[in-house]
Structure 1
Amino acid sequence: MYKKNNLKLGIIMDSIESINIKKDSSFAILLEAQKRNHAIYYMKMNDLYLKNGNPYAKTRIIKLIKNTQKWHEIIQEKNISLNELDVILMRKDPPFNTEFIYSTYILERAEEKGVLIINKPQSLRDCNEKMFISWFPELITNTLVTRNISKIRDFWIEHQDIIIKPLNGMGGASIFRIKKNDPNFTVIAEIMTNYERKYCMIQSFLKDVEFGDKRILVINGEAVSWCLARIPSLGETRANLAVGGNGKVQKLTQIDWKIANYLSPILKKRGLILVGLDVIGDKLTEINVTSPTCICEIESETKISITGMLLDYIEKKILK
């Protein structure tokens, strides 16, 4: 489609050596970019730097191979100005911490020079994956964000069955369910808040999780018509695939569409081009903006090319 206009596509992600190429969404995106003859510049977060106000990075131009033994080859390694790139995908996994925030400032300097950054650096800072749902109270379950143990206790007594999770994590890590009369309440609350020095999110437990914690992907304000329902394994509360949940690809329900269609124009306006909505039953639980996954699972069982949707957007945006 754009044969004579090959792009320079940068990606910031965790170590490419440690990924599972069968499930890794970043790898799937890069394969699609390579298929379209775009040059891929791989970076880790510690490769980014500012010099005299200008953004640079140590980059590795890579070639991908769909082989579970060896899936990438470094063609060239060099330091470049980020302004030389056409687009940069920021797909560093959480934790969402101050180092992550600092990296968005560097990316913002490149954005000001005309580089397309996905997702928009300011929105990566503003739209914390856990906290951002609080901007849409009509879509969420009973939710409390605090570091005060007394307030957590009151919420627990009121709702009796609750989930408590950190604001900066991913993949189901450090998520606890506290049922009525659980003798471990105090120690869990102390650990999660680091003795009232750290905010966390507390939500009433949603029984519908047994039918799946649905990951709905949205590309440039358009929801993908199929989602991945992540179903908890026996004896487990968490549905995340990273902790043993089972994935089931299914069509979006009317409720899913209602939530996605409500949020899509808001996400698009904020420059959040690739987003993963988490929905349990009829409730929105998270808005994933840093490195949303589940692309491979959905593409493997449907005729939809989510990576194609993303690359189409990038090409039209840059080569218009």
Structure 2
Amino acid sequence: MGGRGPLSSALMAFSLGFLMDPLESVRVDHDTTFSLMLEAQRRGHDVYYFEQGWLRFNGRCAEARMRRVKVRREPGRHFDVLSEEVLPLSRLDVLFLRKDPPVDANYLHATQLVELCPERSPVFINNPSGIRDANEKLFTLNFPDLMPETRVTSELSVVMDFAARNEKGTILKPIDGFGGKGILFLAPGDRNARSMVELLTQGGKEPILAQAYVPESRLGDKRIILVDGDPVGAVLRVPSDADHRGNMAAGGTPAKAEITARDLHICKRLKPALQEKGLILVGIDVLGDYLTEVNVTSPTGLVEASHLDHVSCEARVLDVAERMHGAR
């Protein structure tokens, strides 16, 4: 059961698994996970995928119902299932944890289950414990000098006092939000302010993140792709005239982005902490000169950054995966 698959014994070829959302639903021209699968296949590796609900513990180790697939960038017929069987995770050489948020109890349980491989653990991208430790909103608070002025609280009075001091406005975010969902702009003097805060905090029961508005956000929200702590590409997500959010899931338009000296400084500051936690593939968000988020669960933007910068971010990820596997 714990042995390696036939392809893994071949020179420089091994088995890569992807814990992800249903493969049927991916956008082949946009999805970062799909782009990684294509690059792995191009290099001759076996590509397996499984969904969170297919993961289980058999009394000795973690296993999953896995599909070995062949993928191609053709919408509507973008993959074939070559085989399907229940396999222990120890059969994988590398496992990409690419399940989209929300980071709920089931997600956290999955990060614990995948670690139950006493015979032989795969190389994880990203490390399950690192994902658990690095909430995409709260992890950034370890670097307050890189961020806009920020508060985290469930108390209405604290948020209202903070917002009253932000002459350019305040951004309110749910801590476990994703894809731009639930992000609100609070204008100075807005008569809806109390209702907005009450709504987001669920009547003072849930803490939220309140952040001083950065006017440069109208020019775009910069997503920088980091691989093993180093920037490999970037994309500017420009909000529409009718929205303050640049997230592509919220209607933002991708545009070419320059990685500035300030961006490089931010990346350099983050690199030791990311490497310590085993966070290999990360997407950070920068507004103007400010770091706003560190995305570690299933960061997107890799396809757009590769296209706009004429690079292959996915190749850089696979280079690191192969290196980490070889080191073992």
The answer to whether TM tops 0.5 is: yes
Confirm whether residue 118 of structure 1 aligns to residue 125 of structure 2. Answer: yes
Tell me what 1:300 maps to.
307
Q: How far 1:73 sits from its partner (Å)?
A: 1.0
Q: How far 1:317 sits from its partner (Å)?
A: 1.4
Letter of the structure 2 residue corresponding to residue 301 of structure 1: L
Confirm whether residue 195 of structure 1 aligns to residue 203 of structure 2. Answer: yes
Q: Secondary structure at the match of 1:122?
A: helix
Confirm whether residue 25 of structure 1 aligns to residue 32 of structure 2. Answer: yes
Confirm whether residue 260 of structure 1 aligns to residue 267 of structure 2. Answer: yes
Tell me what 1:85 maps to.
92
**Residues 101-140 of structure 1 correspond to what in structure 2 (within 5 A)?**
101-110=108-117, 113-140=120-147
C-alpha contact 2:20 2:100 (8 A) present in aligned 1:
yes
Q: Please, what is the CA RMSD of the aligned residues?
A: 1.5
Where in structure 1 are there 5+ consecutive unaligned residues? none
Quote the Cα distance in structure 1 between the aligned partners of 2:150 and 2:185.
Answer: 14
Tell me what 2:216 maps to.
208
1:283 is aligned, of 290, 305, 308, to: 290
C-alpha contact 1:62 1:75 (8 A) present in aligned 2:
yes
Q: How far 1:90 sits from its partner (Å)?
A: 0.4
C-alpha contact 2:65 2:84 (8 A) present in aligned 1:
yes
1:19-76: CA deviation from partner (whole Å, max 9, x where unpaired): 1110111000000000011111111111111122511111111110221121011111
Where in structure 2 are there 5+ consecutive unaligned residues? 1-8
2:227 is aligned, of 185, 206, 219, to: 219
Instruction: Give aligned pairs, total.
Output: 318
Letter of the structure 1 residue corresponding to residue 153 of structure 2: T
Tell me what 2:6 maps to.
none
C-alpha contact 2:90 2:119 (8 A) present in aligned 1:
no
Confirm whether residue 177 of structure 1 aligns to residue 188 of structure 2. Answer: no
C-alpha contact 1:223 1:264 (8 A) present in aligned 2:
no
Quote the Cα distance in structure 1 between the aligned partners of 2:238 and 2:325.
Answer: 39
Quote the Cα distance in structure 1 between the aligned partners of 2:120 and 2:157.
Answer: 48
1:74 is aligned, of 78, 81, 98, to: 81
Q: Scaled by the length of structure 1, what TM-score is found?
A: 0.96
Confirm whether residue 98 of structure 1 aligns to residue 105 of structure 2. Answer: yes
Tell me what 2:150 maps to.
143
Confirm whether residue 46 of structure 1 aligns to residue 70 of structure 2. Answer: no
Quote the Cα distance in structure 2 between the aligned partners of 1:53 and 1:124.
Answer: 24
Q: How far 1:112 sits from its partner (Å)?
A: 7.8
C-alpha contact 2:89 2:121 (8 A) present in aligned 1:
no
Tell me what 2:175 maps to.
167
Q: Scaled by the length of structure 2, what TM-score is found?
A: 0.93
Q: How far 1:169 sits from its partner (Å)?
A: 1.8
Quote the Cα distance in structure 2 between the aligned partners of 1:111 and 1:138.
Answer: 41
